[in-house]
Structure 1
């Protein structure tokens, strides 16, 4: 069996090419120390597309760059936002629409979910994450005015750490 290896000048171009690939996707190859190789069929990993592998394994950060500018926002709990409305919120807060090299992170007030919005190769990409248990480690006071700038390390911490919530027991009378 032979395969070809494609080389790209930067990580964003490589990911964009991978996510827009139209050929049949059948397996994943892991290479360790440049020599040891493990091949897994997509069914073995429980995925259908390359995007399933990236998002499912919580490697959202692999799509983001430490050199980007980051902006953090607090959103109401019961609102539904489209990409257009999120872009509008960015425009109202900062006076410009999201640009390449920026990531806008929208956290719900209940801290159970967040949405990442960024621009890549002329299109907006939105990724939504919902926690089944616990809440994001973020104090409401940290976004006192509803929005502020942030950095990659804080976003990394926000995406990787969660705080367990104690369930309240109701007393029966």
Structure 2
């Protein structure tokens, strides 16, 4: 790949993948990351080209601070700049991981601002809000049609849907 970040169009839907870097000055103390100014400008340009009557899917490993479950520890140094860009587009669906917080019985797995953010849990060792590993494997299943997006939680270990986790968004 030529960049840490890229976009792709699939059947008229825009998918944007972001890639942070670790600031060298913080590497020895923290696992915080940063999005470059170049990448943020690129993102703004990409989102301006997205259709506003369809969802745009944006992915980043780290969550925006103080949004979804487990994101109060920081992780993304300039998350406020990212959030300001994404807040301009209500059609954005933002997916992040890193925290490993479970989808089961967790209202913090989804966060609504001007756009919608999802915690994706973890395919290895999701944890509860008190940092207890539940030993399962979880993730999200996303279904898109012309009029709505349905995001469902999936327990991969037990091959079951997570009953309390179904989000429907009309476009």
TM-score (norm 1): 0.28
The structure with the greater share of residues assigned to helix is 1
- Structure having greater relative contact order (Cα 8 Å, sep ≥ 6): 1
